[in-house]
């Protein structure tokens, strides 16, 4: 179903986050979950205005370009300087789009809350986690040891751990970050584990991923 509405300065497919999520929408949701934010305003307990945004380093701006493309958006990408870092921001002000986002468990000021994903079908869990990983994860080969980790709220990372365990990864406890009661991290080590993670995250990815992290995976595994 088309989600385009006439009369707006910028266009975006407002049906993009309708359930069930497409592979592309699951990835974008995961990326927003990691590196984005939502904001809304209420009157008489009803949302009257809402927006979401994603802000990342300018060197990774091509990811925002890909997200903008799959969302059929012509919103501009803005830039700003933060200390020594140049940032790129993709922002969409659309109430109907954000209301759909909220149904999946994301919240305002999510960094301070122990949120957990909801209503994400098993068929697209890997795509959501790839988006989350591109925003809040890392892969490396240090001291002759391959490592994959991902961080976020304890509930989110516990959910990620359970998804990966269903797909052949060994069970690990979520490590708690002493700096935040709500933040946790999960890590797997070894080439065999990383090969399973790679197959799970990048199956049918259709090039919708952060290239520099994908490149590290390929260098480790090939």
| Strand bridging mode 145-153 / 77-82 | unpaired
- Write down the pLDDT at residue 8: 60
Domains delineated in the chain? 23-221 (3.10.28.10)
pLDDT tens for the chain, 222 residues: list them.
445 444 468 899 999 999 999 999 999 999 999 999 999 999 999 999 999 999 999 999 999 999 999 999 999 999 999 989 999 999 999 999 999 999 999 999 888 889 999 999 999 999 999 999 999 999 999 999 999 999 999 999 999 999 999 999 999 999 997 777 789 999 999 999 999 999 999 999 999 999 999 999 999 998
Interatomic CA distance for residues 215 and 206, integer angstroms:
15
Neighbours of 46 (CB within 10 A): 8
- Write down the pLDDT at residue 9: 81
- Write down the pLDDT at residue 2: 43
Interatomic CA distance for residues 18 and 35, integer angstroms:
21
Is-above-0.75 flag for pTM? yes
Interatomic CA distance for residues 19 and 179, integer angstroms:
35
Angle subtended at Cα 60 by Cα 111 and Cα 164, rounded to the nearest 5 degrees? 55
């Amino acid at each position: 179903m088309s989600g385009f509405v006439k009369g707006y300065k910028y266009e975006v497919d407002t049906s993009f986050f309708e359930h069930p999520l497409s592979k592309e929408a699951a990835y974008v949701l995961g990326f927003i979950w990691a590196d984005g934010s939502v904001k809304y305003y209420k009157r008489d307990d009803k949302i009257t205005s809402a927006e979401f945004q994603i802000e990342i380093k300018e060197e990774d701006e091509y990811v925002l370009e890909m997200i903008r493309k799959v969302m059929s958006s012509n919103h501009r990408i803005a830039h700003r300087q933060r200390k020594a870092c140049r940032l790129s921001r993709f922002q969409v002000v659309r109430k109907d789009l954000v209301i759909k986002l909220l149904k999946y468990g994301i919240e305002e000021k999510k960094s301070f809350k122990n949120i957990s994903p909801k209503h994400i079908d098993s068929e697209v869990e890997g795509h959501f986690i790839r988006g989350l990983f591109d925003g809040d994860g890392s892969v490396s080969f240090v001291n002759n040891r391959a490592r994959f980790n991902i961080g976020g709220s304890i509930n989110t990372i516990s959910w990620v751990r359970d998804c990966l365990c269903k797909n052949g990864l060994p069970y690990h406890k979520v490590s708690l970050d002493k700096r935040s009661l709500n933040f946790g991290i999960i890590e797997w080590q070894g080439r065999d584990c990383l090969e399973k993670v790679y197959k799970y995250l990048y199956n049918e990815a259709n090039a919708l991923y952060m290239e520099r992290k994908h490149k590290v995976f390929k260098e480790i595994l090939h």
